[in-house]
Amino acid sequence: MGCMRNYLTEYRHELQRTFTGTSGTPPEWVPRLAEGNDAGYHLPGSAVWAVHGHVATIVAGIRVLLMQALHPGALAGVYEHSGFQKDPLGRLANTVRWIFTVTYGSTEAAESATAVVRRIHERVRGTYTDGNGAVHEYAANDPELLRWVHVTYADSFLTANRIWGVSIPGGADAYVREWAAAGRLMGVQDPPVTEAQVREELEGWYASGILRADERLAETVSFIQHPPLSPLLRPGYRILFAAAVASLEPKYRELMGLQRARVGPVPLPVITAARVVLGMVRLALGSHGPSEQAARQRLQRLGYADA
């Protein structure tokens, strides 16, 4: 028992370090989610809290990185301006911070965190060649690129939740409708508000020929497949990456040069194997993370009975 407790403690610290840059104690921004004078954009019992509070979001995060890389404009911004190769875990921690602040923070906290991201995007500019061979100028704050990022996010989080997650209050449409608030904060104009609209927009991008498979995409996919993780996390990550790939539509896997896989010396369906890994993550991290707990403190202070 003692060995298992020690292993889980070390495993939990490595998970925390990977997702937030700190271990043992929450990063400095988490306790501040208890501050603020309103409920924010999302409440307990919401579709967003249900989806984002489940460990299936880990697979969703891998999947959305793969999907977003298919758009050469979005990929150019990350590839040419981001520190994803030099400091991928730092970039991941910043993304987690924004998602959890919009999910659990006050209105002021969510808007402030988004303003920081948009200021960083202001200097991200360049050109890219699409899948049809046309050359375009891009800027990270362009509504169309922001739309691609937002739509692939909604699709990936719904897909992962459908396979590994929980029942969503109000269903998938409620999640898309609620998370549209995050899209608007980022500058997405009239974001989709139903799952059908998300699917329709993805099909439109695929049919347009804009999405592109090239050496830059292959390099990025390889990096996502083999990130510089702690040896303790690598076996589980290999399974979760394979699960994210399995959750993709075949046409997207083909563009990425990926195939579905089975894992382990005795082949085990990757969906099942991922469920085992996610269960272990949940055991290590607990059912309710510190961001959610801080949000509940704020809501209790403000008199929300359901908090």
Measured torsion, CA atoms of residues 13, 18, 19, 25, in degrees rounded to the nearest 10: 30
Query: Does a structural domain hold residue 234?
Result: yes
Q: What is the pLDDT of residues 268-287, one digit of tens each?
A: 589 999 999 999 999 999 87
Say if pTM beats, i.e. exceeds, 0.75. yes
Structure confidence at residue 90 (pLDDT): 80
132 domain-assigned: yes
CA dihedral 252, 258, 261, 263 (to 10 degrees): -120
Q: What is the pLDDT of residues 139-162, one digit of tens each?
A: 888 999 999 999 999 999 999 999
Residue 2 domain-assigned (yes or no): no
Give first-to-last CA distance, the chain, whole Å: 34
Asked if the structure places residue 3 within a domain, the reply is: no
The HSE-up count of residue 27 (CA atoms within 13 Å, CB side) is 17
The answer to whether position 5 is within a domain reads no
Whether 59 and 65 have beta carbons less than 8 Å apart is answered as no
What is the domain count for the chain? 1
**Domain hosting residue 89, numbered range:** 10-301
88 within some domain: yes
Strands (E), the chain: 125-129, 135-139, 262-263, 268-269
Q: Summarize the confidence of residues 109-137 as an average pLDDT.
A: 93
Give domain status of residue 291, yes or no: yes
How would residue 266 be classed by pLDDT, with cut points 50, 70 and 90? very low
Find the range with the poorest average confidence among 38-42, 77-81, 143-147, 299-303. 77-81
